[in-house]
């Protein structure tokens, strides 16, 4: 806009009534939010780390700006891309409301509550939730050391949202995990060390072989493996020659030598169950996203900023705080 036009615009603002001025202020606020989010995403990573998402080449040139995002053209494959290409946030609209939605995730709001707060449709809120959480599944600790507490949590298989069930619907679910039929059980394994780094994974069959496939590279060689006296844990420890601190919870054996206990992992599981009550059931196909969501909140002790959450949703390798405590 030319300087003369800017002066005329400023003079015209002085003549606006209250209602028109409020509308103008709201429009400027939305535009500022879009600009800020675009600036945040464009300047997230340095140029020496940026590469073509198609051929991984680092030879590219600037190729104009679209939707407030800098575009680039790869000199090797000739394709154009921007900072969101190949990320879960690609092709999502209404960037100006992303930070508000990220704050809704931090507060743990439901889909409809977040939709109302951000002024979007509930279907948009649902899509944004799982796009924002997609990369959180990749942010897990690579190593657990010292004393590692291990315990499993049982969920019932859920097809929430599916309109075509292959079984009879359950009106009230199951009152106790013991009442869940074996074919409908979903096991979630939690491993938590004393530095409060947490690893979780989902199993449909809970046995030593499934545990070994995920824990072999995760656990250090000199760890103390604390668990209940269940067959899967005992077989895993025996086969892998791991130091084992076993507890018989059924006989109220909760601690040994002031070192072997499961207090940390039990507390984490109780907090997770209390936190998930607000969602009134989670579909099994999305369970991993919710586990990652809670793990991310616990990682930052609920003090993560909306900007950090947004960047982590774009690139999981940024702001990874594993072993940050």
Per the model's pLDDT, the better-predicted residue between 322 and 38 turns out to be 38
User: What is the average pLDDT across 164-172?
Assistant: 77
User: What is the average pLDDT across 127-132?
Assistant: 94
User: What is the average pLDDT across 126-142?
Assistant: 90
| pTM check: above 0.85 | no
For position 222, what pLDDT does the model report?
87
Q: Which residues of 155-176 are buried (b: 16+ CB within 10 A; e: fewer)?
A: bbebeeeeeeeeeeeeeeeeee
Q: Read off the tokens for 113.
A: 């509550």
Question: What is the band of 322 on the pLDDT scale with cuts at 50, 70, 90?
Answer: very low
For position 21, what pLDDT does the model report?
55
Backbone angles phi, psi at 191, to 5 degrees: -120, 125
The CA distances from residue 262 to 107, 142, 241, 253, 295, in Å, are 28, 21, 21, 11, 18
For position 182, what pLDDT does the model report?
82
Assess contact for 294 and 272: CB atoms under 8 A: yes
For position 318, what pLDDT does the model report?
46
Q: Does residue 286 sit in helix, strand or coil? A: helix
Please report how many Cα atoms fall inside a 13 Å half-sphere around the Cα of residue 313, on the Cβ side.
Answer: 28
Question: What is the band of 170 on the pLDDT scale with cuts at 50, 70, 90?
Answer: confident
User: What is the average pLDDT across 105-118?
Assistant: 94
Assess contact for 160 and 282: CB atoms under 8 A: yes
For position 41, what pLDDT does the model report?
85
Please report how many Cα atoms fall inside a 13 Å half-sphere around the Cα of residue 25, on the Cβ side.
Answer: 8
The CA distances from residue 236 to 73, 219, 241, 303, in Å, are 51, 12, 8, 37
For position 321, what pLDDT does the model report?
44
User: What is the average pLDDT across 291-318?
Assistant: 85
């Amino acid at each position: 806009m030319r300087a003369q036009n800017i002066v005329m615009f400023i003079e015209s603002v002085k003549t606006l009534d209250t209602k028109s001025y409020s509308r103008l202020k709201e429009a400027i606020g939305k535009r500022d939010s879009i600009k800020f989010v675009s600036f945040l995403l464009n300047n997230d990573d340095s140029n020496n780390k940026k590469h073509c998402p198609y051929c991984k080449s680092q030879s590219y040139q600037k190729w104009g700006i679209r939707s407030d995002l800098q575009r680039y053209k790869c000199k090797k494959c000739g394709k154009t891309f921007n900072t969101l290409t190949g990320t879960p946030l690609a092709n999502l609209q209404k960037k100006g409301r992303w930070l508000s939605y990220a704050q809704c995730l931090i507060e743990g709001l439901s889909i409809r509550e977040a939709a109302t707060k951000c002024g979007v449709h509930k279907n948009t809120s649902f899509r944004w939730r799982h796009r924002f959480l997609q990369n959180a599944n990749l942010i897990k600790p690579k190593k657990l050391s010292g004393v590692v507490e291990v315990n499993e949590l049982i969920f019932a298989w859920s097809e929430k949202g599916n309109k075509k069930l292959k079984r009879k619907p359950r009106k009230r679910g199951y009152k106790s995990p013991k009442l869940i039929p074996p074919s409908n059980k979903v096991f979630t394994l939690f491993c938590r060390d004393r530095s409060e780094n947490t690893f979780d994974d989902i199993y449909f069959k809970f046995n030593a072989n499934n545990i070994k496939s995920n824990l072999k590279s995760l656990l250090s060689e000199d760890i103390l493996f604390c668990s209940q006296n269940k067959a899967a844990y005992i077989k895993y420890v025996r086969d892998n020659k791991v130091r084992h601190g076993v507890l018989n919870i059924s006989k109220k054996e909760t601690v040994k030598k002031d070192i072997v206990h499961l207090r940390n992992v039990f507390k984490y599981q109780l907090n997770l169950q209390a936190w998930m009550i607000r969602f009134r059931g989670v579909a099994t196909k999305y369970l991993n996203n919710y586990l990652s969501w809670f793990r991310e909140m616990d990682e930052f002790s609920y003090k993560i900023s909306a900007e950090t959450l947004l960047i982590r949703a774009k690139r999981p390798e940024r702001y990874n705080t594993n072993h940050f405590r």
